[in-house]
Amino acid sequence: NRLNLTEDAGQDDHQTGSLRSCSSSDCFSKVMPPRKKRRPAAGDDLSAKKSRHDGMYRKYDSTRIKAEEEVFSSKRCLEWFYEYAGADDIVGPEGMEKFCEDIGVEPENVVMLVLAWKLDAQNMGYFTLQEWLKGMTSLQCDTTEKLRNSLDYLRSLLNEPTNFKLIYRYAFDFAREKDQRSLDINTAKCMLGLLLGKTWSLFPVFHQFLEQSKYKVINKDQWCNVLEFSRTINLDLSNYDEDGAWPVLLDEFVEWYKGKQMT
């Protein structure tokens, strides 16, 4: 029995020595397999794709929103109208003042007359809902910014003779009191100054004539003939035909002006 115990103990010591003779690295390599590089999991790949997709979607979405903003919207135009209109669905004097301030134009600027013409507004200083929607749709404007960007276009309409004539004729009915067939002289002088003041060299003299004349109103025939006179008669009045079909108002102006030159 002792011998057997000794032999068993010797075998244990031998095995222990063998294990001790192994280096720690050898032992570790035998116990743990070599570490392999981690391959991306399927979930990681999906996350990367999703991130790229989200970025592309955000870019597309912002482009789409911008495109939608550029397209005219009746709903947006209606909301814009009610920024200035009262409960009666009309933009009145107070709303008009704020509107002019927002678009950066003085109320007495000629471009406001052109805008009113495009809206076919019937009363000076007022825009109805129907006028607003019809006119702004034709201009494709549904925001303040879009209208600001259209102001140069509106001004350019005055440079085209046919459009100018239409705007000039429109101004008479737009500015007159609706229960009157004629335009009171003070309003007429203001509107003529707005439309002809910068383009007709004789306007200052004609304005002076109106101020000293007996005329209290101007009718539509007189109004239209003033435009024709400004376009066709020379500055020295040399081609004015006193026997022509000119209204008495202009005959008197020519006579007054010639007498003024002589003195």
92 band by pLDDT with thresholds 50, 70 and 90: very high
Q: Could you give the CA distance from residue 263 to residue 258 in angstroms, rounded to a whole number?
A: 9
Q: Please state, in angstroms and rounded to a whole number, the distance separating the CA atoms of residues 218 and 206.
A: 13
* Model pLDDT, residue 21: 43
Write down the pLDDT at residue 169: 97
Residue pLDDT, tens place only, 11-63: 444 444 444 444 444 444 444 455 555 665 555 666 666 666 666 666 555 55
The set of residues, in sequence order, having a beta carbon less than 8 Å from that of 114 and lying 6+ positions away, is 154, 155, 157, 158, 167
Amino acid at 227: L
- pLDDT tens sequence across 195-241: 999 999 999 999 999 999 999 999 999 999 999 999 999 999 999 99
With a cut of 60, say whether residue 91 has pLDDT above it. Answer: yes
Pairing of strands 183-184, 127-128: unpaired
Structural domains of the chain ordered from first start: 59-159 (1.10.238.10), 164-263 (1.10.238.200)
